[in-house]
């Protein structure tokens, strides 16, 4: 039956399929013959065979395999085939993957067509996130914003609006970005978007606008993290004077936090930001004050890598040896040795 499906006619293939006793073996034969006809471009024959498969699971799997065949060969669009799946969860998950694949290859029309067939609200909202991201990549901020606002699932809408806001910083200015962030109803998501706007604004060198975004953050922890992150970004641009001002703001915000567990993330950024500005003593002191052992170790690891890249062997080694967990410490020393191996004598790396 498979041979006739590949090299002969559908009628001849069906002749051999019908010779197989009814049951699982015949169902499997129908599936394999359908795939063979699909690969040969006989879409109508493949679909006729699929409809004869009584096992819903096997039928759906066959349709998914047919959908994976390039449309140029199968002569039928994947979204139509996936839309015929009887298992609604499998159907929507498969269509969502198709949306993701098409969005990744910048095929907006095809991704939109596949998304339109999704029925589950959560999967549909996730598909709208992919489409929003694609429209931003294509430079259509207006359409991306409109699509993000139309998403009905709060978490997906928050992420989509955040994507739009961050992209707006460089294209339409920080003020437009902040207005978009204010559309986010969820406080945590809105604060995160404002922090990312501040970081992006600093990365672009628009320092006079950074404070406006941070001032709009109403969560003190997120505000402290934002100041520390912006200080680090600004220092990496070589602007150490404004970076130190942001560091002062971050230090002030962290001092107002009563729970040391909440301040740990900000302190980690603060330590690496001090290192970027050349204030090494403060960097190590701040790192030592982090109460979360795992985060403190990761901070020392980042400091070790920073000092290694600056070829400050003493500070790099001091940071690495301050790591409490043995595996993390050895990883830091390994990174340090690798960096040195490319820049100095082998004996120093050893």
Q: Is it the case that residue 347 has pLDDT exceeding 80?
A: no
DSSP string for 91-117: HHHHHHHHHHHHHHTT-HHHHHHHHTT
Number of C-beta neighbours around residue 278 at 10 A: 13
Q: Is it the case that residue 345 has pLDDT exceeding 80?
A: no
Closest by alpha carbon to 318, among 278, 281, 272? 281
288-344 residue pLDDT tens = 999 899 999 999 999 999 998 888 888 999 999 999 999 999 999 998 888 878 777
pLDDT of residue 203: 92
For the purposes of burial, counting CB atoms within 10 Å of the CB of 211, is it exposed (0-12), middle (13-18) or buried (19 or more)?
middle
Q: How far apart are CA 107 and CA 102, in angstroms?
A: 5
For the purposes of burial, counting CB atoms within 10 Å of the CB of 163, is it exposed (0-12), middle (13-18) or buried (19 or more)?
buried
pLDDT of residue 295: 92
Cβ neighbours for 200, distance < 8 A, ≥ 6 positions apart: 166, 169, 170, 177
216-226 residue pLDDT tens = 999 888 898 89
Closest by alpha carbon to 276, among 313, 331, 238? 238
Q: Is residue 226 within 8 Å of 200, Cβ to Cβ?
A: no
C-alpha radius of gyration, the chain, whole number? 29
Q: Is it the case that residue 161 has pLDDT exceeding 90?
A: yes
pLDDT of residue 313: 85
Q: How far apart are CA 27 and CA 64, in angstroms?
A: 16
DSSP string for 181-199: HTT--SHHHHHHHHHHHHH
pLDDT of residue 329: 94
- Read off the pLDDT band of 235 (50, 70, 90): confident
Note the Cα 43 to chain centre separation in Å.
36
Q: How far apart are CA 340 and CA 346, in angstroms?
A: 8
pLDDT of residue 74: 63
pLDDT of residue 37: 84
Q: How far apart are CA 68 and CA 349, in angstroms?
A: 51
Q: Is residue 79 within 8 Å of 117, Cβ to Cβ?
A: yes
2-57 residue pLDDT tens = 888 888 888 888 888 888 888 888 888 888 888 888 888 888 888 888 888 888 88
Q: Count CA atoms closer than 13 A to 144's CA, side-chain side.
A: 26
């Amino acid at each position: 039956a498979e041979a006739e499906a590949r090299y002969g006619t559908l009628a001849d293939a069906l002749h051999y399929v019908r010779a197989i006793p009814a049951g699982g073996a015949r169902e499997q034969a129908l599936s394999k013959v359908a795939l063979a006809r699909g690969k040969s471009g006989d879409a109508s024959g493949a679909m006729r065979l699929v409809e004869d498969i009584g096992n819903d699971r096997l039928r759906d799997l066959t349709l998914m395999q047919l959908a994976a065949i390039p449309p140029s060969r199968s002569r039928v669009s994947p979204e139509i085939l996936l839309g015929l799946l009887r298992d609604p969860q499998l159907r929507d998950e498969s269509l969502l993957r198709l949306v993701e694949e098409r969005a990744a290859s910048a095929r907006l029309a095809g991704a939109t067509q596949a998304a339109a067939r999704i029925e589950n609200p959560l999967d549909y909202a996730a598909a709208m996130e992919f489409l929003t991201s694609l429209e931003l990549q294509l430079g259509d901020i207006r359409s991306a914003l409109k699509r993000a606002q139309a998403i009905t699932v709060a978490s997906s809408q928050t992420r989509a609006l955040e994507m739009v806001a961050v992209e707006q910083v460089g294209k339409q200015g920080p003020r437009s970005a902040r207005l978009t962030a204010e559309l986010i109803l969820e406080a945590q998501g809105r604060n995160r978007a404002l922090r990312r706007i501040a970081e992006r604004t600093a990365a672009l060198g628009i320092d006079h606008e950074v404070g406006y975004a941070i001032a709009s953050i109403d969560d003190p922890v997120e505000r402290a993290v934002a100041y520390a992150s912006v200080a680090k970004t600004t220092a990496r641009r070589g602007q150490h004077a404004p970076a130190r001002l942001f560091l002062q703001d971050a230090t002030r915000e962290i001092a107002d936090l009563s729970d040391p567990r909440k301040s740990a993330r900000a302190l980690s950024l603060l330590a690496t930001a001090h290192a970027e500005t050349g204030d090494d003593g403060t960097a190590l002191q701040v790192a030592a004050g982090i109460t979360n052992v795992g985060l403190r170790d990761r901070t020392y690891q980042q400091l070790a890598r920073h000092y290694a890249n600056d070829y400050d062997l003493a500070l790099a080694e001091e940071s690495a040896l301050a790591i409490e967990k043995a595996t993390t410490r050895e990883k830091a020393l390994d990174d340090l040795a690798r960096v040195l191996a490319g820049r100095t004598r082998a004996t120093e790396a050893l």
